[in-house]
Structure 1
Amino acid sequence: MIEIERKFLVKSDAFKHEAHKQTRIVQGYLNSNKNRAVRVRIKGETGFLTIKGTSSASGLSRFEWEKEISKHEAEALLNLCEPGIIDKIRYEVKVKNHTFEIDEFFGENEGLIIAEVELTSENESFVKPLWLANEVTGDSKYYNSQISKNPFKNW
């Protein structure tokens, strides 16, 4: 239940031509406290309830628990969320042995594109595609829970 990932900004839309899957995601936060976040998400036609803990000192890993729920349940829970619902399309791109998830944000976060790659250890190596830009791993400004409170348009 420990999630290890690195996060990067994206400098071009070249990833769209490499994507093997794309899914619309709408999500909100029932709790966006820095020590724990409780998220409700609709990904395609499926709902999820997720709890995330505090990040490690490196920002690379943190506790994550996720449970699939019905889309109907997720829609009802979204009505209880804090202000700042996130709307994005997630693209999945396979690069060698890893899959990058690239989120293109809309609404108040239009123009922000973030790529994440999940790893099995904090020091695992991976191939960096040319469309990756600066690493923002551990920078809480780029956490979805923070983007919902302080959208990209305000930066």
Structure 2
Amino acid sequence: MEIERKFLITELPENLTQYNCRRIEQGYLCTAPVVRIRRQDEEYYLTYKSKGMMVREEYNLPLTAEAYAHLREKTDGNLISKQRYLIPLNETLTAELDIFDAPFAPLMLAEVEFSSEEEANSFVPPAWFGEDVTFSGKYHNSYLSCLKF
């Protein structure tokens, strides 16, 4: 089960380069239900996500580089690429700050995953977080993959 909140970011936190960063590329084989492939640095995954906004099922299966390359050719819509910074917020929570490449730039989103809905609902975001878009489907990557440019 994935429990997360999502926020628009308009101002980057200070000293961004001090945080771990991952390079991500992902494409969608299906958006209803969501079936996605992802390359994260040199790791590869196939992911299923159920319907939902803040709470939904998520299953990740490892892929080989060869399987990823094969499935990449079968994706629909836009391939999404972004940098993801992992920014600790406290002892238990981490913000995953995504800075999107073209054609989605200058879009920046931060996601925070929680262990319970109660924890998610009581979360007070840091000052550098913008609008809470947790319940807006138009900021799901699966939605972005379908946009026409």
Compute the TM-score of the two structures, normalised by the length of structure 1. Answer: 0.88
- Cα separation, partners in 2 of 1:24 and 1:4, compared to 1, 3 Å: same
* 1:149 aligned partner, one-letter code: C
Q: Per the alignment, in what secondary structure is the counterpart of residue 54 of structure 1?
A: coil
* 1:145 aligned partner, one-letter code: S
Task: Look up the match of 1:39.
Answer: 36
- Cα separation, partners in 2 of 1:16 and 1:78, compared to 1, 3 Å: farther
Q: % of aligned pairs identical?
A: 35
Aligned residues: 146
Task: Look up the match of 2:108.
Answer: 113
Deviation >4 Å, runs of 4+: none
> In the TM superposition, what are the counterparts of 1:80-119 in structure 2 within 5 Å?
80-96=74-90, 97-119=92-114
Task: Look up the match of 2:24.
Answer: 25
What stretches of structure 2 of length at least 5 have no aligned partner? none
What stretches of structure 1 of length at least 5 have no aligned partner? none
Mapped pair 1:145 → 2:138:
no
Deviation track 1:59-104 (CA, whole Å, cap 9, x = no partner) reads 2100100011122221221111002100100010001120110110
User: 2:46·2:61 contact (CA, 8 Å) conserved in 1?
Assistant: yes
Higher strand share: 1
Find the aligned partners of 1:92 and 1:106 in 2 and give their Cα distance.
17
RMSD of the TM alignment (CA)? 1.6
Find the aligned partners of 2:67 and 2:80 in 1 and give their Cα distance.
17
Find the aligned partners of 1:19 and 1:29 in 2 and give their Cα distance.
31
Compute the TM-score of the two structures, normalised by the length of structure 2. Answer: 0.91
User: 1:85·1:148 contact (CA, 8 Å) conserved in 2?
Assistant: yes
Find the aligned partners of 1:80 and 1:32 in 2 and give their Cα distance.
13
Task: Look up the match of 1:65.
Answer: 59
Task: Look up the match of 2:13.
Answer: 14
Alpha-carbon offset, residue 150 of structure 1: 1.6
Task: Look up the match of 1:51.
Answer: 48
